[in-house]
Amino acid sequence: MNFEKPNQSSTLKKKKNLGLQTRISDKLISILGYSNRTIVQFVINLTKQTSSQIEFRKKLEQFEFSSKEISLFVQELFDEIPTTKKRKNYRKKEEHVEEEEESCSRSRQRRKVSSEDEESDEEARIACDKEEREKLEKSIRERDARKIAERKVKKVRCDVKDRKEMRKLRKISREEYLKDREKKKLEEMRDEIEDEKYLFGDGLKLSELENSKLRYMKDVYEIVKKKKGLEDVCDDEYKMPEVYDDQFGGVNQEKRFAAALQRYKEVESGAEQKSWEDQQIGNGSLKFGSQDVNRNGDDYEYLFEDQIEFVKASVMEGENEEDMFDESSDGFREKERVQKLQDERKTLPIYRFREDLLKAIHDHQVLIIVGETGSGKTTQITQYLHEAGYTKRGKIGCTQPRRVAAMSVASRVSKEMGVKLGNEVGYSIRFEDNTSEKTVIKYMTDGMLLREFLGEPDLASYSVLMVDEAHERTISTDVLFGLVKDIARFRSDLKLIISSASLDANKFSDYFDGAPIFRIPGRRFPIEIHYTKAPEADYMDAAIVTILQIHLTQPPGDILVFLTGQEEIEAAEELLRQRTRGMGTKIAELIICPIFANLPLELQNNIFEPTPKGARKVVLATNIAETSLTIDGISYVIDPGFCKMKSYSPRTGMESLLVTPVSKASALQRAGRSGRTGPGKCFRLYTAFNYQNDLEENTVPEIQRTNISNVVLTLKCLGIDDLMAFDFMDPPPAETLLKALELLYSLNALNSVGQLTKTGRRMAEFPLDPMLSKMIVASEKYKCSEEIISIAAMLSAGNLVFYRPKEKKVHADAAKMNFHTGNVGDHIALLKVYSSWEEHNYSTQWCFENFVQVKTMKQARDIRDQLKGLLERVEIELSSSFNDVESIKKAITSGFFPHFALLQRTGAYRTGRNPQTAHIHPSSGLAYVLPKCVIYHELVLTTKEYMRQITEVKPEWLVEIAPHYYQLKDLQDAVVKKRPRVKHT
C-alpha cells in the first residue's frame, strides 16, 4: 500500500491554528472564567469580519465581553489572525480613526479649557459686581450717616438762630403790645371821662378830691390826644365826611383819594377778615329747606314702583346699647376740642381693657389682638404704649394697608394727643413723609416699612411694631410677617403686635409660634342684617333705590354704600343727584360724599365732616371703608356684595381688576361699620342663601394673585437668596415666583447664580416697579436722567393726567393732541406736558387751559423731587438731552423691552416672548396711527386686552439693548410687511 506524504505547509498551518485556538481559549478562561470550541471559533470569525480594532472591541462589548484586559486581547488577535479582503488596509483605517480620536480628544480638551475660562470669567464678573455692589452699599450708608450728622448740625444752628429770632420777636411783640395797651388805656380814660359827664354833669356836687382827679384825667387825655393827633369819635354816632372842594371851587385830590383808600386801611385792622368769618359762620349755620317740611309741607309719603323688599335675618349683638352719644349736643359735634376727644376715647370698647392689654404686651413679646371694627385698636393702642413709656426706648410704628388710612389715623391721633401732625405723631406713605426727629408714633403703609428694612435691617429705632389690619393680607403685609417674625427671634426687646379684625386669629397665632390672642369686643350697639327676598339683576340700580328708601322711611343717620370703583361711584353720584333733584325740596337734604383713591385729599376729607342738622349724608365708597377708615355717624350700610380684586397672570404678564363677589369675612366687616354711634342696619343686596352657599370664607391673599417682582427684588436686597425657603404664611405660586426671577434676571438686576447685581441694588432704592427703576438706572448711559425721572413721575402719578368735560370734548381732545404732535408716543407726550407746566412756573391756569389735572401734576412734581434725591443717593448724575428723542426712547426701552408688541395684519398687536393679542388703548395718542413695533407701560384687561402708554421703537434697538432676550432675525421675520388700513373715526 502506498501512502501519500502530507503537505508540510498545510500541516504547519493546522498546528498554527490549533496553537491560536489554544491561546484564545486560555485567554478567554482568564478573562471570562470559561471557554469552549464554539466560543473560540466565534471570536476568530468575528475578528476576520471586522475592519478595525475599535469596531471589534465594540462588537465584543455588545456580547458582554468587557474587561480591563480586553484591549490587549484585541491587539494580540489582530496581530496573529491573517488579513482578509474586508480588512484590507485596516491599519491605515486604524491610524485614521486614531487620528480622529486624538483630534476629538484635543477639541474636547479645548472646549473644556474654554468652558473653564468662561466659568472663571463669569466668576470674575460676579466677584467684580459683588465688589461694586458692596462699594455702592457702603457709599449709601456713609451718605446717610453724613446726612444725619448734617441734619444734627443744622438743627443746632437752627436752634441758635431760632433763639435769636425768638428774642427779637419777643421784643417786637412787647412793643406792639405796649402800643395796643396805650391805645386801650386811652380809650378807657376817654370812656371814664364820658361816664363822669353823663353821671355827674347835672349839677351834682363833687368833692375836691374827685374834682382834682377828673381834671387830671382830662389834662392827661388832652395832652396825649394832641401828641398822637387823635380825634374824638363816638362809635355809636355817624360823622359826616369832610368835603373835597375848597373855598375857590377846586377839589382837594389828596383828601379825595384818602377817602377812597380808607377801606384798605380797614383791611389791615381786621374788619374784612371779621366780615368774612361772620359770612362763613352764617353759611355754616344755614337752615335747610327740609327742616320745616312737617310744618309747611303736604302730609303724604313717596311711593316707589320698584321698591325693594328686605327680610330681617339676624341681629349682631352690641355691648352697651344704653351708652349712646348725644349727637344733638354741641360738644359732640366739636371734635377738634381736645377735652371732648379725651371723653370720647373713654367711651371706646378698648378703654375698659387698657390695663389688661398693657400687661399682656409687657408679658409677651408677640401678641395677636383681635378687635372688631370700631373698637379703637388702631388709634388707642399706640397712645397707651406711649403713655406707658415705650417711646423712651424707641419709636412706635403702626402699619396700614392703604395710604388714606395712614394719613387719616395719624391726623386723628395727633388731635387726640393735642400735638401738631408731623411732630410727635406723623405718617409716611409713598412719595410723602410727614415726620420729624420728634416723631415717636409713626403711621405708615406696610410697603414703607418694608423699604425701611433696606436702610435698617434690624429696625433698631423701633421699640414696638404694630401690623394693623393684618387680615387684609396685602402683598407687603405677608412679606412683613416673615421679616418681623425673624427679627423678633433675635431682638428680645422688640414688642410685636399683630392686629386683626378677622375671626381666623388662630392661623396668625400658629404662624407666630403660638403667640397668645387678646380679644377686644368692638361693637357697642346691635346691628340688624337684612337680605333681599330675591336676587337683584342690577345691583347699581338696587343700591340707588335702597338709598332713597332709607332716606325717606328710616330715622336720621348717615348711609354708607360699598361700590367697586371710581366709575361706579361717579355714576351713582350722578343718578342720585338726578333723582333727588326731581323730588324737589319736599325731602330732606341728601349730601353725597364719594371716597376713592384718586379723589383729591380735600374732597376725601369731606366724609369726616359732621352732617348738618336736618340733613343726611350718604358716603359712596370702595372697600377702603371696610376696615381702614372709620366714619362717625354711619347708621345704615348698603352692601351689594361685590368688590374689585386684582388678578395677575404670570403666563401673559397681564394684571386685571375683576369685579368678584366679596368673602364672608368682608361682608361681616362691612356690616360692622353701622354699629359705631348707635344701633345700625345693614342692607345686603343679595339673598341669605347666596351668603351661606356662594361666598368664600376668606379673601385670597394678594401675594397669591399679583406680580411679586418688586417684593422679590426687595428680599434679594435684604440678603434673602433662598426665596422658596422664605417663611411665607401662604407661599406664592411657584410659576409667579419664577416669572419674577426671570424678569429681574432679564433686567440685569440678578446675575446667573441669582445674586443681586449693582444695577439691582440701585433699582431697589427706587419705590417703583422694577421696569421703571431699570429705566431710570439706564438713563445714566444715555445722558437723559432729567427727562426720564419726569416720565417716571408722570407714570407713577396715575392715568388721570388729562380730563375731558362733556361740554368741551372737542377742545379737550385738541389740547391733548397738541402734545402728541409728530406721533412721538405717550411717554414723550407726558414729558412735554410736564416740561410745559414747568416752563409756565407750575401754573394752575395753564392746567385749566390745557385740560390737565392740577392734582396729578402737583403729585408728579412731588414724586419727581424725591426721585431726584434718590438719583444722588445711588450715584447717578443729573443729565439732560431734551432734544435727543432717540436716546430718551432707548432709555425707556431699556426698562420696558419685555413689554414689546408687533403689529399684525388684523390691526391688533401680538406681544413678544409670551404671545398675547392686545390693542392700543383709545386714550393713547397712537391709537389711530398703529406703528409697527411698540413698547407699552402696562397691559390691562377691561372690555379688551389694552396696552397703555405706548411708544414706537425700532426692532434693532431691542437687539442692541437686550441681546439675551431677542434675536434680530426673529423680530424681522415677525414684522408685518404690509400695514393694515386704518379707519379713522
Q: Report yes or no: 514 and 339 within 8 Å, Cβ to Cβ.
A: no
Residues 6+ apart with CB under 8 A from 411: 421
Residue 210 has pLDDT above 70, yes or no: yes
Q: Report yes or no: 487 and 494 within 8 Å, Cβ to Cβ.
A: yes
Say yes or no: 580 and 715 in one domain: no
Residue 588, in any domain of the structure: yes
Residue 906 has pLDDT above 50, yes or no: yes
Who has greater pLDDT, 941 or 62?
A: 941
Quickly list H helices, 402-537.
403-417, 446-455, 475-490, 505-511
Q: What is the pLDDT of residue 829?
A: 92
Residue 744 has pLDDT above 80, yes or no: yes
Q: What is the CATH number of the domain that holds 729?
A: 1.10.10.2130
Residue 330 has pLDDT above 50, yes or no: no
Residue 302 has pLDDT above 60, yes or no: no
Across the range 114-134, mean pLDDT stands at: 72
Domain-ending residue, one of 183, 202, 228: 228
Say yes or no: 531 and 413 in one domain: no
The grid coordinates of residue 592 equal 353725597
Sheet holding 395-400, edge to edge: 432-434, 425-429, 441-445, 395-400, 462-467, 495-500, 366-371, 517-520
Which of 337-346, 370-379, 656-665, 765-774 shows the lowest per-residue confidence on average (mean pLDDT)? 337-346
Q: What is the pLDDT of residue 892?
A: 93
| 797: nearest Cα among 684, 937, 922 | 937
Residue 935, in any domain of the structure: yes
CA-to-CA distance for 936 and 952, rounded, in angstroms?
9
Convert 17-35 into a string of H (helix), E (strand) and C (coil). Answer: HHHHHHHHHHHHHHHHCCC
Across the range 899-924, mean pLDDT stands at: 86
| 718: nearest Cα among 652, 764, 687, 673 | 764
Residue 610 has pLDDT above 90, yes or no: no
Q: What is the CATH number of the domain that holds 755?
A: 1.20.120.1080
Residue 686, in any domain of the structure: yes
The grid coordinates of residue 984 equal 379713522
Which of 40-54, 411-425, 635-649, 676-690 shows the lowest per-residue confidence on average (mean pLDDT)? 40-54
Say yes or no: 442 and 403 in one domain: yes
Q: What is the pLDDT of residue 280?
A: 59
The grid coordinates of residue 886 equal 432717540
Which of 206-220, 268-282, 343-357, 551-565 shows the lowest per-residue confidence on average (mean pLDDT)? 268-282
Say yes or no: 644 and 540 in one domain: yes
Say yes or no: 156 and 53 in one domain: no
Across the range 855-872, mean pLDDT stands at: 88
CA-to-CA distance for 277 and 274, rounded, in angstroms?
5
Q: What is the pLDDT of residue 234?
A: 47
The grid coordinates of residue 925 equal 395718542
pLDDT digit string, tens, across residues 14-24: 445 556 777 77
Residue 657 has pLDDT above 90, yes or no: no
Residue 778 has pLDDT above 70, yes or no: yes
Across the range 25-34, mean pLDDT stands at: 70
Residue 563 has pLDDT above 50, yes or no: yes
Q: What is the pLDDT of residue 67?
A: 54
| 486: nearest Cα among 463, 518, 459, 526 | 459
Q: Report yes or no: 508 and 368 within 8 Å, Cβ to Cβ.
A: yes
Cβ neighbours of 493 (radius 10 Å): 9
Say yes or no: 582 and 661 in one domain: yes
Domain hosting residue 107, numbered range: 92-228
Domain-ending residue, one of 703, 726, 753: 703
Residues 6+ apart with CB under 8 A from 633: 327, 557, 558, 610, 611, 617, 676, 677
Quickly list H helices, 460-515.
475-490, 505-511
pLDDT digit string, tens, across residues 933-975: 899 988 887 778 888 899 999 888 888 888 888 877 766 666 5
Say yes or no: 169 and 81 in one domain: no
pLDDT digit string, tens, across residues 131-155: 887 888 778 777 777 777 776 777 6
pLDDT digit string, tens, across residues 478-521: 888 888 888 888 888 899 999 877 657 788 888 888 889 888 87
pLDDT digit string, tens, across residues 622-632: 877 776 666 77
Across the range 204-216, mean pLDDT stands at: 79
Cβ neighbours of 812 (radius 10 Å): 18
Which of 44-48, 181-185, 377-381, 736-740 shows the lowest per-residue confidence on average (mean pLDDT)? 44-48
**pTM given for the model:** 0.66
Q: What are residue 143's phi and psi, to 5 degrees? A: -65, -40
One-letter amino acid for residue 480 of the chain: L
Local structure of 36: helix, strand or coil: coil
pLDDT digit string, tens, across residues 211-261: 888 888 888 888 887 776 655 544 445 556 666 666 566 666 676 666 666
Residue 283, in any domain of the structure: no
Say yes or no: 51 and 106 in one domain: no
Q: Report yes or no: 767 and 841 within 8 Å, Cβ to Cβ.
A: no
CA-to-CA distance for 286 and 569, rounded, in angstroms?
28
Residue 59, in any domain of the structure: yes
CA 775 to chain centre: 19
One-letter amino acid for residue 699 of the chain: T
Q: What is the CATH number of the domain that holds 686?
A: 3.40.50.300
Residue 794 has pLDDT above 80, yes or no: yes
Which of 111-125, 381-395, 452-466 shows the lowest per-residue confidence on average (mean pLDDT)? 111-125
Say yes or no: 877 and 965 in one domain: yes
Local structure of 715: helix, strand or coil: helix
CA-to-CA distance for 389 and 540, rounded, in angstroms?
50
Domain-ending residue, one of 520, 540, 573: 520
Give me the torsion for CA of 424, 428, 433, 439, rounded to 10°.
Answer: 20
pLDDT band, residue 313 (cuts 50/70/90): low
Write b or e for each residue in 114-148: b if 16 or more Cβ atoms lie within 10 A of its Cβ, otherwise e: eeeeeeeeeeeeeeebeeebeebeeebeeeeeeee
Pairing of strands 462-467, 395-400: parallel
Q: Report yes or no: 947 and 926 within 8 Å, Cβ to Cβ.
A: no
Residue 757, in any domain of the structure: yes
Residue 278, in any domain of the structure: no
Say yes or no: 481 and 533 in one domain: no
Say yes or no: 540 and 505 in one domain: no
The grid coordinates of residue 169 equal 420777636
Residue 355, in any domain of the structure: yes
Q: What is the pLDDT of residue 324?
A: 36
Residues 6+ apart with CB under 8 A from 463: 390, 391, 393, 394, 395, 396, 493, 494, 495
Q: What is the pLDDT of residue 421?
A: 87
Who has greater pLDDT, 50 or 95?
A: 50
- Domain count across the chain: 6
Distances, alpha carbon 504 to alpha carbons 307, 369, 705, 792, in Å: 38, 11, 20, 40
Across the range 566-588, mean pLDDT stands at: 82
Say yes or no: 687 and 634 in one domain: yes
HSE, CB side, 13 Å, CA atoms: give it for residue 698: 13
Cβ neighbours of 253 (radius 10 Å): 9
Local structure of 101: helix, strand or coil: helix
pLDDT band, residue 298 (cuts 50/70/90): very low
Residue 125 has pLDDT above 60, yes or no: yes
